[in-house]
Chains A and B, each alone.
Chain A
Amino acid sequence: MGQATFEEISASDFFYRNRDIAGFTNPSRAIFAAIRELVENSLDAAESQKIPPDVYVRLSFEGEATKDTQIYKLRVEDNGSGIQPRFIPSAFGQVLYGSKYKLKQMRGTFGLGGKMAVLYGQITTHQAAFVASSTGQAKVYSFKLMIDIQRNRPIILDRKVLINKDQWRGTIVEFSLEGDYLRAMPKILEYFKQTAMVNPYANLTFVDPKGRLYKFVRGTEDMPEPPKETLPHPYGVDVELLQRLIQITPYKTMAEFLKHHFHRVGDITAQKFLEFSGLSPSKNPKRLAHEEIVRLMQNMKKFKEFLPPDASCLSPLGEDLLRAGIIKELKPEYLVVHQRKPSTYAGHPFIIEVGIAYGGDIPKRGSFVIYRFANRIPLLYDEASDVSFRVINAMNWRRYKVSPDMPIAIVVHICSTKVPYKTVGKEFIADRPEVRREIANELREVARQLQHFLSKREHVDKERKRLSIFAKYLPKIAQFSTMLAGKEKLPDVDKLIKSVQKYGAEET
């Protein structure tokens, strides 16, 4: 009889064995994911300082790896906040270490992306990563790092301190990885274009392995308000979170505990809730039994009188910036954007912003061009599974005199402290009724405005066509009647043509 062996594995080890779930599925997807994760870290780092981001990405060819894959060197530079020197090794050399375990809207949520990229590079090329960073102070710190996968610890191979003569601030990451750029290229370029659309205040530069330069220049310096950190809302908590809060709380009564650890809970709400769940306000939370904690969590979900979460923890793009981004990248003939007021699902606030653009650079391809964004990240895969796609397809566009063979692009941006992704790959939004309803309402709003524009345009077109008919035929009538009547001088029809413009002709 064999004996089962149990061993503990580290977080690095876990992701090493399960890299699929973080998006590093295959060589082409891996190179896309690596670029994306680092670019998003860079954007977050600049935005947290209210600095318009400048992100430079270079991918260069290093050598052949296998028949289908190559070794590339990826370098990403930003002008973001920079990282304190003591945090640098862990920030890039320890999985699940990061600054993102608080409740506010950020691009990444797991503290995983940048490290996974570095880890993937190390696995495929056995080379160290180079990181340099400065917070704009006197010195620049640079490291050569590897990850000790089994122990989930950074190994520092080299460390240098340089004088920061130019007061440079930002972070540079460079490492090698195996990938298939040729297959990934269309998605990578689309990623930059869409990122530029939803981050119109960012400069993005990409140099690809063939030396081609792609530059997306910012269209504005204005940036959205950065999000505020917030407490968890009672609707959104689970038993695990409750237990952790109970462990760390300095408060000795349930009333104080609820008031200080939960979003939008005051004296009155706390009192009503405790009454509702049959708990004494003066009970010490640390004395709660396990079953009581479970019941507390269940009651929190049942209680109807919690105030909805406010949206200060969200940082939507806003109508002006969304408009600027879409105009910059699509140059449409007509555009309408709309932002709805915040809503919630399962205790998580979210805001939907949509735009609908017509004409310009938008191609006619027999179906709408759909751009999906979540917390300012473009979602490029699994379009057909996304809630936006479903809502768009379920809508009765004919009511708005809009048809899919028109050159129309639809942009849907969801902001939330917890984007309802369906999978860890973070590629599409789950079909939740609250989200679906908001998207649908918003699409109706912009569709109405598009309809208004189209019918006005049709009217103008018709009017122009009508005028051109009179302008074409009246001079001919003049010509023929002059010949018939045997006259010399053509009658003047300009006045008649003008009068048609002014008053309109009879239609029957």
Chain B
Amino acid sequence: MEQKKHKSRVAEKKNEVISGLKDFGTKVYSQLDNGVFPSISMPSRSTENINYDPLLRQFILGEKSVSRSARNIRHVKPFTQLAWAAMFSNELTTQRKTSTLRDVYYSAQAYEMTFKDQQESNNIITDLETVTGYSREDFNIFPEERSAVFGDLTIEYTVPGYEGKTLNLTSHPDGVLIGPALTSSEFASTTADKVIAIEKGGLFTRFIEENVHTKHNSILVLTAGQAPRQTRHFIRRLHDELNLPVYIFTDGDPWGMHIAQVIISGSANAAHLRELNTPDAVWSGVWATDIVNYKLPTDPLDEVDIKRLYELQRDPRYKEDPLWQREIKTFLKIRRKAEQEAFSRYGLTYIVDEYLPTKLKESK
């Protein structure tokens, strides 16, 4: 078996995050100590300041910045919330505890910091991401987990109580949840030579049952619909640290296509963050042309689907690439869509035995 050496970033990054938070606190503290109203500036997240960077192959924030000053009556409360969120994140990261966005909303109440609603507290966390340049997962704040991973990858935990323990990700046949403990783990060893990301749980299970991980020497990742940020970052790490190519399989419709695109090029909502996308990942199917070539059972595209296709056609992430443009045109031409499960009409193993090998070859 081939062992791959990788570079670890987990511990290093943790320290960066903690010092980033502390820098913010020190800046505010010294402003106050000098008798001036604290203020900070950060890149603006308004739509006109979100640009697609073709070199980075992701959305980035432009030159425009906004400033938040405690002198301003309308800013003083969000500023305080931001200071609280930074303090809270600092405690989480230094004490190596994790929290959910929902937790954040309630924890604030212990400090008589009220958030109007969940949305307001989520926005403040996004502000903190923008100010520090780190994503909330780096502060140990996670959304609900739903995606999973399976394959021959041995990880080494860094979470309290499990430090140094290892786990091989084939050890549980349902896959292992991509949660805080997993995403904060170091990658110890793998024999896999590729990553296959799958949109739907049913197909993920089928792939495991059919031993795709051994037949195709791969690590399987279930995105469970639109991939959560931590899953996107996890895929990026698999690619960067283990040098594994990434192939993405989704439903054959505009929505599946976009799930793949977000893994590859990121989203506008996360334009203030880096390393959530994997520019070298490849969308392997189900393409509109596959629907035609494999004569898959289909449903008609409805109005919303068509509208979405026209939107995507103008989207900078789709514009330059002939593959995307070709597929969008084909969808618009055939006006049909197909789910991944559609391959079952040729038998349960057809997708694994015939389609997958062909597509992997085609995508290389």
Query: A residues bordering B, Cβ < 8 Å?
Result: 466, 469-470, 473-474, 476-478, 480-487, 491-493, 495-496, 500, 505-508
Contact = CB atoms under 8 A, between A and B. Distances in A.
B313 to A, nearest CB: 40
A495 B35 contact: yes
A496 B69 CA distance: 13
Interface stretch (B23-31, B58-66, B116-124, B133-141): B23-31
A484 B24 contact: yes
A484 B76 contact: no
A496 B71 CA distance: 9
B25 A477 contact: no
A381 B59 CA distance: 75
A26 B72 CA distance: 68
A376 to B, nearest CB: 51
Interface residues of B, number: 32
A198 B71 CA distance: 52
Given A470-B76, A506-B72, A484 B87 contact: yes
A486 B22 contact: yes
Contacts of A469: 73, 76-77
Contact of B80 (A473, A487, A496, A500): A473
B111 interface: yes
Given A473-B77, A486-B22, A496 B29 contact: no
B83 interface: yes
Interface in B37-90: 37-38, 69-74, 76-77, 79-80, 83-84, 86-87, 90
Contacts of B86: 480, 484
Contacts of B303: none
Nearest to A473: B80
A487 B29 contact: yes
A323 B177 CA distance: 78
Contacts of A470: 73, 76
Contacts of A483: 25, 87, 90
A481 B32 CA distance: 9
Given A484-B86, A484-B87, A496-B35, A476 B25 contact: no
A493 B35 CA distance: 7
10 contacts: A478-B29, A478-B32, A481-B29, A481-B83, A481-B87, A485-B26, A491-B32, A491-B33, A505-B71, A506-B72
Given A473-B79, A477-B83, 8 more contacts: A470-B73, A470-B76, A473-B77, A477-B80, A481-B28, A484-B87, A486-B22, A493-B32
B2 to A, nearest CB: 46
B25 A480 contact: yes
Contacts of B73: 466, 469-470, 505, 507
B268 interface: no
A360 to B, nearest CB: 31
A477 B37 CA distance: 10
B90 A484 contact: yes
Contacts of A466: 73
B358 to A, nearest CB: 55
B76 A485 contact: no
A495 B35 CA distance: 7
A268 B76 CA distance: 78
A482 B90 CA distance: 12
Nearest to A474: B70
B21 interface: yes
A477 B80 CA distance: 5
Which of A485, A491, A508 has the most C-beta atoms of chain B within 10 angstroms of its own C-beta? A485
Contact of B113 (A476, A485, A486, A487): A476
Nearest to B36: A496
Contact of B29 (A482, A505, A506): A482
A485 B70 contact: no
Given A470-B73, A481-B38, A484-B90, A476 B29 contact: no
Interface string B87-118: 10010000000000000000000011100000
A496 B22 CA distance: 23
Contacts of B25: 480-486
Given A469-B77, A484-B24, A477 B32 contact: yes
The 7 closest A-B pairs by CB, nearest first: A484-B25, A491-B32, A481-B28, A480-B83, A485-B25, A485-B29, A481-B29
Contacts of A480: 25, 28, 80, 83-84, 86-87, 111
B284 to A, nearest CB: 46
A487 B32 CA distance: 13
Given A466-B73, A474-B76, A505-B71, A484 B35 contact: no
A474 B24 CA distance: 16
Contacts of A486: 22, 25
Contacts of A491: 29, 32-33
Contacts of A474: 70, 76
A482 B83 CA distance: 10
A485 to B, nearest CB: 4
B26 A484 contact: yes
A496 B37 contact: yes
Contact of B79 (A477, A496, A506): A477
A13 to B, nearest CB: 78
A416 to B, nearest CB: 54
Interface string B307-335: 00000000000000000000000000000
Contacts of B24: 484
Contact of A508 (B36, B72, B112): B72
B124 to A, nearest CB: 12
B113 A484 contact: no
B146 to A, nearest CB: 32
Contacts of A478: 29, 32
Nearest to B78: A473
Contacts of B111: 476, 480
A484 B37 contact: no
Nearest to A478: B32
Nearest to A504: B73
Contacts of A476: 80, 83-84, 111-113
B76 A473 contact: yes
Contacts of B32: 477-478, 481, 491, 493, 496
Given A505-B71, A508-B72, A484 B80 contact: no
A500 B69 CA distance: 13
A484 B70 contact: no
A79 to B, nearest CB: 61
Contacts of B83: 476-477, 480-481, 484
A492 B35 CA distance: 8
A507 B37 CA distance: 14
Contacts of A484: 21-22, 24-26, 28-29, 83, 86-87, 90
A470 B80 CA distance: 10
A477 B72 CA distance: 14
Nearest to B111: A476
Contacts of B76: 469-470, 473-474, 477
A506 B113 CA distance: 23
B20 to A, nearest CB: 11
A112 B282 CA distance: 106
B79 A505 contact: no
A473 B37 CA distance: 12
Contacts of B28: 477, 480-481, 484-485
B72 A505 contact: yes
Nearest to A493: B32
B38 A477 contact: yes
B75 to A, nearest CB: 9
Contacts of A508: 72, 74
A496 B72 CA distance: 12
Nearest to B37: A496
A487 B38 CA distance: 16
B70 A477 contact: yes
A24 to B, nearest CB: 64
Contacts of B84: 476, 480
